[in-house]
A and B are shown apart, each in its own frame.
Chain A
Amino acid sequence: MADYTSLLALRGAFSQVGGHGILSHVPPYSLYLHIPFCRHRCAYCDFNTYERLEALIPAYVQALCGELRWIDRSFGQRLPVHSLFFGGGTPSLLPVGELGSMLEAARESFELLPGAEITLEANPGTLSLEYLQGLRGLGVNRLSLGMQSAQPGELLLLERQHGYQDVLQAVQWARRAGFDNLNLDLIFGLPGQSLESWRESLEMALDLGPEHLSLYALSLEHGTPMRAWYERGLLPEPDPDLTAEMYEYASQRLAEQGFVQYEISNWARRGQDGQPLACRHNLQYWRLLPYLGFGAGAHGYALGVHTANVLAPAAYIQRMQAAGDPGAAQPRLDFPRSPANASAEQPAQREQMGEWMMMGLRLTEEGVSAQDFRQRFGQELQAVYGREIERLLRLGLLEWRDRVGERLRLSERARLLGNQVFMEFV
């Protein structure tokens, strides 16, 4: 009886890549592991993360390992995985051993493909050489460092717990430990930030020789201290025109430095094979290919179903403990659902199309392809969105990449106006 569900699930998995029906065509999956702990909550952060819950870490790691096993059982077969991402929160708060046990559970339950990308987000202030060597030893091969800014004043405003010196040190150690794929996160468009100070941060980031850069415009999210300061008039609103100038400046400067912009906020250098060292894990999101989320508040997407886990770490642990071991006696959940899910929704086809467009058009280089659309949804892109596309082409917000009718992407001008484009498709 139980195997029947898995079979159905498998059939769904095939049809997602065009229904060839051969086992080897299960598309490689990506795994996201959420670590919801931080030493101190940064002033702009609205992520699902918590201070002073470190005591929960051992139980949390156990629960997360449990969830990894659970999902695997519900699928009934080891899914191939080509990227794994420890995100947070601050994954680097966890001892190497804890990260190791999660990786082990992942390897047990999934088929980690050779050359799989394994990324860990790290906070510059929390690292040491030994720690980084430990990570390499586990097989982590990509590091993403939250640098945010090189200006002490700005870091103070953001309530980051590190300085440029820590980033420099972290990068040196990472190189020594053998990391050859490093990302730095930077934030621009801060209240009161000048173009000059942004240029300086960017140069100082470039000086560190990263393979990859993510540049995010600050947004004052509800519920964050910075938003509250702004609402009480203690902070000026970031100037959108200046923010745009910062972005344009960065695009130009990074191009000069040989970076390829492949997404609205992401740039990568070319690797030895000439291909940009894009983040494979994030590409999975933007291409709306299947990924599974583990841990508190983690999101997954597979077989057209969006799952979201309960937010609070304690609740998450409780859920997984109550679920127990995914033995044969347990009632099964349909893949990709997990006992930790707070919701699992399958949007209607039209909404899925909108999601696919909204995510895919973020890819500034490759954009979205009419052929992929046809394969995935069995309809013509032009038939579904002809009018919208026509309008956006006329407004100069979209362009055909090579040949008319094949690949659609944002025009250069539209990169900071993405919502005006995405909106047309949802």
Chain B
Amino acid sequence: MSTNIRNFCIIAHIDHGKSTLADRLLQLTGTISDREMTEQVLDSMDLEREKGVTIKASAVRMMYTARDGQVYELNLIDTPGHVDFGYEVSRALAACEGALLVVDASQGIEAQTLANLYLALEADLEIIPVINKIDLPSAHPDQVADDLSNLLGVPDDQILRISAKAGLNVEEVLEYVVQHVPPPKIDPQAPLRALIFDSHYDSYKGVVAYIRVMDGEINSGDILRLMQSETDLKPIEIGIFSPGLRPVAKLSAGEVGYIATGLKTVRECRVGDTVTLASRPAEQPLPGYQKVKPMVFAGIYPVEGEDYDELKESLEKLQLNDASLVYEPETSQALNFGFRCGFLGMFHMEIIQERLEREYDLDIIVTAPSVEYEVVLRDGSLVRIDSPAQLPDEAQLVEIREPWMKIQIFTPTDFYGTVMDLVTKRRGVFIGQDYPAPNRVQLNFEIPLSELIVDFFDQLKSRTRGYASLDYQFAEYRPDDLVKLEILVNGEPVDALATIVHREDAFHRGQAVISKLKDLIPRQLFVVPIQAYAAGRVISRANVKALRKDVLAKCYGGDITRKRKLLEKQKRGKKRMKMIGSVEIPQEAFLAVLRYGDE
């Protein structure tokens, strides 16, 4: 039977149609009835549906009767395409033998097409290129087929051309999977080894681990052992994704499924760990995953101090479902107790923030993101800081080094000039260029990460009318003339508003921040002076005027309920602000310190 298993994932650049293709495959195989079908049905999180973007990889099992008359078990994993979620993709790859590389017929090869392709090749997967959206008037599938053929060495005419939306040629995709994706190489006699590639928390079932069984088999009732955390457990149930959780009696080598561990705390069950049998443990765990290195760091604080424990618990649970999230406790003078969190990018940070707010119903403050700096001190020691507040006194500093990145920007040649301009304005250095396709250029640069995390992607998109795409990798740490830009509110420095900037930018940035804050900090009952301070002097100052008028107009006809509701609403808004000293500061103010303003 195991030779009739095919494990594959769908990878692509963002929006090229992975989830839509998954929809069609689920329908064709009858896994989901037409009645239950919605668009991008695997994007089950509210946030995913709202943003129209896949955030989490999701697995699903389908049964397919192929043209050869045999029934195949297909385990599909749909992955996200956004640059911040590469780690999500790489984990999914370890559970598969093949990957569908989807390319939009009008957009062609983009940054994450390549990035995810390289990940898949590293994981030794069979690649099946698929050109999607051929129904679009702007589609040029011949061109894209040519490009793909050059890239992969596959003949043009063997590249599938489909429309996931219109359901064109989709059956062919399943046939390709059956024919080209190798069945899992398995040893059913070997002791059980299953890789945990993802997980989530369920209040009834505890931690639910998503696994790919590599060797041996799991029967319900087996006592299992988590090899790294050295924990034994008797699962509540084992099962498959169909796409909801469906219990089964047995999971065999080569299959993808889940174990409802019943564990209530999240520490024992880590993504990347190996599951084996307690009665007959494997000798060696599977290689697991490399630890991710976060790119940006920000503080997350509860608006109300008493919510700290709840925030802590929520982060723990969220981490289960997002292995790339890292955090540790942090204290801020201004914001008290919270967590320093590491993210893979700004979009990732935004998603975490929104999930905490929605799924866990928390009111939180997120501080301005920062990169990790290396600081060389007079005594010769080197410290790493990921928050401007930790920067030692200037007198002790020899040098501050910041991370530099290699970036590749894919863009139509028309936007060559404006992309150059954007990057060089941000201290970027041009390295070289390639022409992967006619009218398209790949520009290679090096740029400080700190310049990349603020608004860069949005700027790039707006300057290229959405056509450019971007990929990046860490290059090295380099010293530069960096200073701390501090913000004083009502005479007090607010650590959570500090940033590290290039000395030449300090003046301009200081002014921009003050003028932003002046508008963002609502009027208080007294005048609030705000100042920007860097390299020993005040760069900019302004006053937030005192509130003088705040009263509801007349209550005509005695509508008291409405009046009360308006006040209640105003009160809720006030509660969401953070008290710093005696000044109320709204969430937006903490991010405002990063907005460049005019570009």
Which A residues are closer than 8 A to B by beta carbons?
A: 32, 34, 47-48, 87, 189, 214, 216-219, 240-241, 243-244, 247, 264-265, 285, 288, 291, 293, 297-301, 306, 308, 345, 347, 351, 354-355, 358-359, 395, 397, 415-420, 422-424, 426
> Is B291 part of the binding interface, using a Cβ–Cβ cutoff of 8 Å?
no
| A300 adjacent to B558 (CB under 8 Å) | yes
> Is B552 part of the binding interface, using a Cβ–Cβ cutoff of 8 Å?
yes
Please name all residues of chain B whose beta carbon is closer than 8 Å to the beta carbon of A345 when the two chains form the complex: 561
> What separation, in Å, do the CA atoms of A219 and B571 have in the docked complex?
19
> What separation, in Å, do the CA atoms of A423 and B553 have in the docked complex?
15
Which of B553, B556, B557 gathers most chain A CB within 10 Å?
B557
Give 18 A-B contacts (CB < 8 Å), ordered by A residue.
A47-B557, A216-B553, A217-B551, A218-B553, A285-B558, A308-B559, A345-B561, A358-B563, A415-B551, A416-B549, A416-B551, A417-B547, A417-B549, A417-B550, A420-B525, A420-B550, A422-B552, A423-B571
| A299 adjacent to B557 (CB under 8 Å) | yes
> What separation, in Å, do the CA atoms of A312 and B525 have in the docked complex?
41
Q: Which residues of B, 520-568, contact A by the 8 Å Cβ criterion?
A: 525, 545, 547-561, 563-564, 567-568
> What separation, in Å, do the CA atoms of A100 and B559 have in the docked complex?
26
| B567 adjacent to A417 (CB under 8 Å) | no
| A419 adjacent to B561 (CB under 8 Å) | no
Which B residues are closer than 8 A to A by beta carbons?
A: 525, 545, 547-561, 563-564, 567-568, 570-571, 574
| Minimum Cβ distance to chain A for residue B543 (Å) | 13
Cβ 8 A contact of A291, one of B525, B556, B558, B561: B558
Cβ 8 A contact of B549, one of A243, A306, A351, A354: A243
Secondary structure type dominating chain A contacts: mixed
| Minimum Cβ distance to chain A for residue B338 (Å) | 26
| Minimum Cβ distance to chain A for residue B198 (Å) | 45
| B557 adjacent to A298 (CB under 8 Å) | yes
Please name all residues of chain A whose beta carbon is closer than 8 Å to the beta carbon of B564 when the two chains form the complex: 347, 351, 354-355, 358, 426
Please name all residues of chain A whose beta carbon is closer than 8 Å to the beta carbon of B561 when the two chains form the complex: 299, 306, 308, 345, 347
| B560 adjacent to A299 (CB under 8 Å) | yes
| Minimum Cβ distance to chain A for residue B576 (Å) | 13
Q: In chain A, what residue has the closest Cβ to B546?
A: A241
Please name all residues of chain B whose beta carbon is closer than 8 Å to the beta carbon of A288 when the two chains form the complex: 560
> What separation, in Å, do the CA atoms of A213 and B271 have in the docked complex?
72
| Minimum Cβ distance to chain B for residue A77 (Å) | 23
Q: In chain A, what residue has the closest Cβ to B566?
A: A419
> What separation, in Å, do the CA atoms of A415 and B555 have in the docked complex?
16
| B554 adjacent to A214 (CB under 8 Å) | yes
| B557 adjacent to A240 (CB under 8 Å) | no
| Minimum Cβ distance to chain B for residue A377 (Å) | 16
Q: In chain B, what residue has the closest Cβ to A356?
A: B560
| A32 adjacent to B558 (CB under 8 Å) | yes
> What separation, in Å, do the CA atoms of A299 and B567 have in the docked complex?
18
Known: A416-B548, A419-B567, A423-B567. A87 touches B556 (CB 8 A): yes
Known: A422-B567, A423-B571, A426-B564. A299 touches B549 (CB 8 A): no
> What separation, in Å, do the CA atoms of A417 and B552 have in the docked complex?
9
| B557 adjacent to A32 (CB under 8 Å) | yes
Known: A32-B557, A358-B563, A426-B568. A418 touches B525 (CB 8 A): no
Known: A216-B554, A243-B549, A417-B547. A426 touches B567 (CB 8 A): yes
Please name all residues of chain A whose beta carbon is closer than 8 Å to the beta carbon of B525 when the two chains form the complex: 395, 397, 417, 420
> What separation, in Å, do the CA atoms of A218 and B549 have in the docked complex?
12
Please name all residues of chain A whose beta carbon is closer than 8 Å to the beta carbon of B567 when the two chains form the complex: 358, 419, 422-423, 426
| B557 adjacent to A87 (CB under 8 Å) | yes
> What separation, in Å, do the CA atoms of A397 and B558 have in the docked complex?
25
Please name all residues of chain A whose beta carbon is closer than 8 Å to the beta carbon of B570 when the two chains form the complex: 419, 423
> What separation, in Å, do the CA atoms of A226 and B558 have in the docked complex?
24
Please name all residues of chain B whose beta carbon is closer than 8 Å to the beta carbon of A424 when the two chains form the complex: 571
Please name all residues of chain A whose beta carbon is closer than 8 Å to the beta carbon of B560 when the two chains form the complex: 285, 288, 299, 301, 306, 355, 359
> What separation, in Å, do the CA atoms of A265 and B556 have in the docked complex?
12
| Minimum Cβ distance to chain A for residue B554 (Å) | 5
| B553 adjacent to A285 (CB under 8 Å) | no
| Minimum Cβ distance to chain A for residue B545 (Å) | 7
Please name all residues of chain A whose beta carbon is closer than 8 Å to the beta carbon of B545 when the two chains form the complex: 241
Given contacts A355-B560, A426-B564, 12 further A-B contacts (CB under 8 A): A32-B557, A48-B557, A216-B553, A240-B549, A293-B557, A345-B561, A359-B560, A415-B551, A416-B551, A419-B550, A424-B571, A426-B568
| A426 adjacent to B557 (CB under 8 Å) | no
Q: In chain A, what residue has the closest Cβ to B575?
A: A423
> What separation, in Å, do the CA atoms of A285 and B563 have in the docked complex?
12
Known: A423-B570, A426-B564. A34 touches B557 (CB 8 A): yes
Q: In chain A, what residue has the closest Cβ to B573?
A: A423
> What separation, in Å, do the CA atoms of A97 and B571 have in the docked complex?
47
Please name all residues of chain A whose beta carbon is closer than 8 Å to the beta carbon of B552 when the two chains form the complex: 418-419, 422
Please name all residues of chain B whose beta carbon is closer than 8 Å to the beta carbon of A298 when the two chains form the complex: 557
Please name all residues of chain A whose beta carbon is closer than 8 Å to the beta carbon of B550 when the two chains form the complex: 416-420
Please name all residues of chain B whose beta carbon is closer than 8 Å to the beta carbon of A351 when the two chains form the complex: 564
Please name all residues of chain A whose beta carbon is closer than 8 Å to the beta carbon of B563 when the two chains form the complex: 358
| B553 adjacent to A297 (CB under 8 Å) | no
> What separation, in Å, do the CA atoms of A34 and B557 have in the docked complex?
8
> What separation, in Å, do the CA atoms of A252 and B43 have in the docked complex?
64
Known: A358-B564, A359-B560. A426 touches B571 (CB 8 A): yes
> What separation, in Å, do the CA atoms of A90 and B401 have in the docked complex?
73
> What separation, in Å, do the CA atoms of A34 and B558 have in the docked complex?
11
Q: In chain A, what residue has the closest Cβ to B552?
A: A419
> What separation, in Å, do the CA atoms of A218 and B567 have in the docked complex?
18
> What separation, in Å, do the CA atoms of A419 and B567 have in the docked complex?
7
| B551 adjacent to A418 (CB under 8 Å) | yes
Please name all residues of chain A whose beta carbon is closer than 8 Å to the beta carbon of B554 when the two chains form the complex: 214, 216, 265
| A264 adjacent to B556 (CB under 8 Å) | no
> What separation, in Å, do the CA atoms of A319 and B523 have in the docked complex?
47
Please name all residues of chain A whose beta carbon is closer than 8 Å to the beta carbon of B553 when the two chains form the complex: 216-219
| Minimum Cβ distance to chain A for residue B582 (Å) | 10
* Those 3 A-B pairs whose CB atoms lie nearest each other, nearest first: A418-B551, A244-B548, A423-B571
Q: In chain A, what residue has the closest Cβ to B565?
A: A426
Which of A48, A247, A299 gathers most chain B CB within 10 Å?
A299
> What separation, in Å, do the CA atoms of A54 and B570 have in the docked complex?
38
> What separation, in Å, do the CA atoms of A415 and B582 have in the docked complex?
22
| Minimum Cβ distance to chain B for residue A419 (Å) | 5
> What separation, in Å, do the CA atoms of A291 and B555 have in the docked complex?
14
| A247 adjacent to B558 (CB under 8 Å) | no
Please name all residues of chain B whose beta carbon is closer than 8 Å to the beta carbon of A247 when the two chains form the complex: 549
| Minimum Cβ distance to chain A for residue B430 (Å) | 42
| Minimum Cβ distance to chain B for residue A218 (Å) | 8
Known: A417-B525, A419-B567, A422-B567. A217 touches B549 (CB 8 A): yes
Please name all residues of chain B whose beta carbon is closer than 8 Å to the beta carbon of A419 when the two chains form the complex: 550-552, 567, 570
Q: In chain A, what residue has the closest Cβ to B568?
A: A426
| Minimum Cβ distance to chain A for residue B457 (Å) | 30
Q: In chain A, what residue has the closest Cβ to B574?
A: A423
| A297 adjacent to B557 (CB under 8 Å) | yes
> What separation, in Å, do the CA atoms of A358 and B552 have in the docked complex?
11
Q: In chain B, what residue has the closest Cβ to A247?
A: B549
Q: In chain A, what residue has the closest Cβ to B561?
A: A306
Q: In chain B, what residue has the closest Cβ to A238?
A: B549
Q: In chain A, what residue has the closest Cβ to B554?
A: A216
> What separation, in Å, do the CA atoms of A359 and B551 have in the docked complex?
12
| B557 adjacent to A241 (CB under 8 Å) | no
| Minimum Cβ distance to chain A for residue B76 (Å) | 48
